[in-house]
Amino acid sequence: MTPAGGELSAEAADEADSAVVTKKIDQLMNRYAGSGPGASLLVVRAGKPAIRRSYGMADVEKAVPVTPATNFRLASVSKQFTAAAILLLVEDGRLTLEDRVGKWLPELPAATAAITIRHLLTHVSGLIDYEDEMSAELDRQVHDADVLQILAELDRTYFPPGSDFRYSNSAYALLALIVERISGEEYPAFLENRIFRPLGMSTTLAFVDGGPGVENRAYGYSRKDGIWVRTDQSPTSAVLGDGGIYSSIDDLAKWNAALGDDRLLSDESRDLAFTAAVSTNDPGVDYGLGWYVGKDRVWHSGETIGFRNVLVRYPKQGLAVVILSNRNDPEPMATALAISALFQQ
């Protein structure tokens, strides 16, 4: 009921607006609701979570619902953490972006001699995609070290480094190995010690079979013949540098906050990450270091068997939208952009 005169108070108007926005968001996220695999949604505005909602099931068979603490496999959203790890080592003075990759990975063949760290970060290395070279008889998961072994036996590239853009999971697997060789730590430990623990991301980790388990784990699913089937792991799921991190929207809220100041990375490093470095194959879209760069936003999506995710940031507006899902459909970018529009000035 409105007060006398028919006008809402400022506080009541804000509540009414919030209710309308929440209803619109639930409509946009409705596909994730119910007894099937679901999703978590985070909207950060002016440094504070404006929306923090979850839908559907993290474990369909056991009817375990998704919550804001549920950890999803990030897939290629992981690449921004790999890029951050490299930038931390640059700040430490342990390497430069112009270092030749062969300096740290001498096993690589002569055809890769001109490739630099920067080429790896920006997907212009020309490295062969390791997924295309895996044996059809493979009966185990491959790891980052296996990627290096595959590439070491291929004395060729797609193109001279820096001459073209081709998205490269191989490049980010090699970056994880470079982090290990320079730091003397295994990649999951480096991330834990230098990124996750300092930021209070207490349940985020690079998952290794036989290592620490994933708390509040979401399992991946794919729809087959109208039924959701668990498809949680593939032969490439153990490669860490290109997509092996698990995290939740609660922890990613802390990550997003750290991207807005110098608590983890310097101003210079963050500028490098978020500034267009190369053109992609998509007009109007560039790539920085671990991030796609558009006119008013930076983002990265992630897709792997049973998971589809996206993290979109609008730095000038202090706005970010994260959707993490444990299903192969729908693609979440369009939904994230529609939700972003509800908060645009």
pLDDT of 140: 86
Segment 121-148 mean pLDDT: 92
pLDDT band at 2 (very low <50, low <70, confident <90, very high): very low
User: CA 81 to CA 191: how far, in whole Å?
Assistant: 8
Those residues with Cβ within 8 angstroms of residue 95's Cβ, 6 or more apart along the chain or in another chain: 86, 89, 104, 117, 178, 182
**Banded model confidence at residue 345, pLDDT cuts 50, 70, 90:** low
- pLDDT tens per residue across span 4-58: 334 444 454 455 568 899 999 999 999 999 999 999 999 999 989 999 999 999 9
Residue 101: CB atoms within 10 A of its CB come to 25
Of the two residues 344 and 85, the one the predictor is more confident about is 85
Structure tokens at 106: 């001498």
Q: What is the pLDDT of residue 169?
A: 97
In the chain, helix, strand, coil percent, each to 5? Answer: 35, 20, 45
Q: Identify the CA nearest to 105 among candidates 169, 194, 176.
A: 176
The CATH class that applies to domain 10-341 reads: alpha beta
SS3 78: helix
What does the chain come to in residues? 345
**Nearest-CA neighbor of 147 among 273, 49, 268, 241?**
241
CB of 278 closer than 8 Å to CB of 306: no
What contacts 89, CB < 8 A, 6 or more positions away?
95, 179, 182, 183
pLDDT given at position 12: 41
Q: Which pLDDT belongs to residue 13? A: 44
Q: Is 55 within 8 Å of 261 (Cβ atoms)?
A: no
Residue 230 DSSP SS3 = strand
Six-digit token string for 93: 């003075």
For 312, phi then psi, to 5°, come to -120, 130
Listed residue (220, 249, 250, 252) closest to 328, CA to CA: 220
State mean pLDDT over 83-90. Answer: 98
Q: Is the pLDDT of residue 136 over 90?
A: no
pLDDT in tens, 155-185: 999 999 999 999 999 999 999 999 999 999 9
Q: What tens digit of pLDDT does each residue of 268-306 get?
A: 999 999 999 999 999 999 999 999 999 999 999 999 999
| Domain segments of the chain as ranges | 10-341
Alpha-carbon distance of 280 to 32, in angstroms, equals 31
Q: What six digits make up the tokens of 33?
A: 């609701």
> Per residue in 243-272, pLDDT tens?
999 999 999 999 999 999 999 999 999 999
